[in-house]
Structure 1
Amino acid sequence: MATIESYATAGGKRYRVRYRTPARKQTDKRGFKTKRDAEAFAATVEVSKLRGEYIDATAARLTIAELGAEWLTRQTHLKPSSYRPVESAWRLHVEPLWGVQAVADIRKTAVQQWVSELTTGDGKGRKPKSATVVIRAYGILASILDSAVDDRRILSNPSRGVNLPRKTKKPHVYLTHEQVHALAMTSKYPTLVLVLAYCGLRWGEAVGLRVKDLDMLRRRINVTENAVEVG
């Protein structure tokens, strides 16, 4: 249970609340002007521990920059081609605004304002970003805050539920056989153009091909590697 102690200051008597966190760590909060305020805080702490809602104030003061750097190191499951736009979105759109913010200070309205300004421009020279860029940047912030919830730094994620821009599908344009062959003939690598056009390979799969991957007797291409150029 929490205990309350009084102590003297130049401004008069003050009260301190000593209590244990759910991890059994001894801590305190001081500066209460009245014993009633201290008792109210102590009761709130005990109730939050019983409900499993206790949040360590120190943990809640960590900034998005600190948590974001850790979050990036955990994205090892991403391929290099997928990681690069994520890192870029973090560096260009998330960290500059949110980096100095403590997770406990972030509000849903502020996140919505940020998303809106990314989508339409901020009127200060920053141009609107595509829906893909906005959603990616938002996803990074939301994921970092999800991790903060999991680690009991905040009780809930303030970024969830904001309105996001919708992606608009562009009409697909397909080349005719004549156009494909015309493109191939003007290319430095006509065979590569034809392989990409007719075999359904991705770029990384096509440039990763080796002679051993071609089965000329069976007329088959065996895709065994995916070469992705990053940087």
Structure 2
Amino acid sequence: MKKQGKKIVTVQEAFQVWFEEYVNINTRTNTQKSYRGMIEKHIFPQLGDMEMNKLDARLLQKFINERRKCLKRSSLGKLLAIMRSCFSYAVNPCGFCKSNPAENVWLPRDIEEPGKEIHVFSSTDVAAIEKQYPPGHDYYVALHVCYYTGLRIGEALGLRWQDVDFEKRELTVAGTMLENGLRQSMPKTRSSYRTIPYGTQLQMLLQTEQLRQMDVRQSAGNSRYNKGDYVCCRIGSGKQICAPDFRFFNAWCKKNLGGGSTHSLRHTHATMLLEAGETMDAVSKRLGHSSIAITAKYYSHVTEKGKLRMRATLDNLFPPDNVTG
């Protein structure tokens, strides 16, 4: 479409250019997938056909205000950040518009971000999982790594033996296994890159698994067994495991435990640490969260229990009988 010899660019076309020239080059695969989902679901249906040079801050503010009815504050902030980045690129270097129409758009203040609802496995649930997925099952090692360390399932599957320090009893999260079976050499975010300590129980499990893999490789004379040198691999073939494979575990949890998934192992680990007295800051760093505020949103149920204990302590220190009118 031409106007006075200059091509008119739509919002959808601007996003396509931004993706091709910037996002696909500078962001991780999971980030690209997340961006694409939000853009196609929220931006294109409402703004996709609009001309870039007709966008203004008031129109976009109304759009953001309307989106608050269906998005939480964190998701709405992400949506606005995506628009700001794309439209900034549309200004320079693309020249699709003279100024960034999203620059002066802000999140409504009346949005309350509720605590995140999470599923935590009980001790009975954990025992049932142990029975269903015993040693020798393809899922056994990965499930226990998540349970004992709080790693995301992709991080556990991307863990290599070189990332495990048996002497210090530490493991380093330096990558993640993507859904397509390729290992990404960086974890989910910058803060997700971390080295964390682990206990004796996991030490014994990992040492046993490493010896098992070595025995299989030697007895089969197969130097290509577990060629990626992954901590978690298929017992018989040594092939890598991908997160989508655990859909069977998630379905089993839903059917037999009333809910839960591999991510619930992470939530269970964090909850156990917090209830045992570890600080929110220490747990936040262990989980690889970018800020303690994110951790607090997920584990507000633990802080509520802490408030109850605090009230009980206060009542013991200052008994009601001592109160005078």
TM class by smaller structure: 0.5 to 0.7
Give the unaligned 5+ runs of structure 1.
1-28, 30-56, 121-127
Using the size of structure 1 for normalisation, the TM-score is 0.58
Distance 1:184 1:141 in 2: 43
5 Å-filtered alignment, 1:128-139, equals 128-139=70-81
Shift of 1:205: 1.9
Using the size of structure 2 for normalisation, the TM-score is 0.43
* One of 31, 40, 44 as aligned partner of 1:91: 40
CA pair 116-172 structure 1, distance change in 2 beyond 3 A: closer
The answer for the alignment partner of 1:70 in structure 2 is 17
Give the unaligned 5+ runs of structure 2.
134-138, 181-243, 245-325
The answer for the alignment partner of 2:151 in structure 1 is 201
Q: How high is the sequence identity, in percent, across the aligned residues?
A: 21
CA pair 130-168 structure 1, distance change in 2 beyond 3 A: closer
The answer for the alignment partner of 2:253 in structure 1 is none
The answer for the alignment partner of 2:86 in structure 1 is 144
CA pair 186-131 structure 1, distance change in 2 beyond 3 A: farther
5 Å-filtered alignment, 1:1-231, equals 58=6, 61-73=8-20, 74-75=22-23, 76-120=25-69, 128-151=70-93, 152-165=95-108, 166=111, 168=113, 170=115, 178=123, 181-182=126-127, 184-186=129-131, 188=133, 189-210=139-160, 219-221=169-171, 223=173, 225-229=175-179
1:115, 1:164 within 8 Å by CA — same for their partners in 2?
yes
Structure (1/2) with the larger helix percentage: 2
Shift of 1:85: 1.1
Distance 1:216 1:149 in 2: 52
Distance 1:226 1:117 in 2: 36
Which digits, 9 at most, give the CA deviation of each residue in 1:197-216, with x for residues without a partner? Answer: 32243321211235665565
CA pair 71-220 structure 1, distance change in 2 beyond 3 A: same
Rg larger in structure = 1
Distance 2:116 2:71 in 1: 20
Distance 2:44 2:116 in 1: 34
1:184, 1:190 within 8 Å by CA — same for their partners in 2?
no
Shift of 1:86: 0.3
- Choose 205-214 or 110-119, whichever is displaced more: 205-214
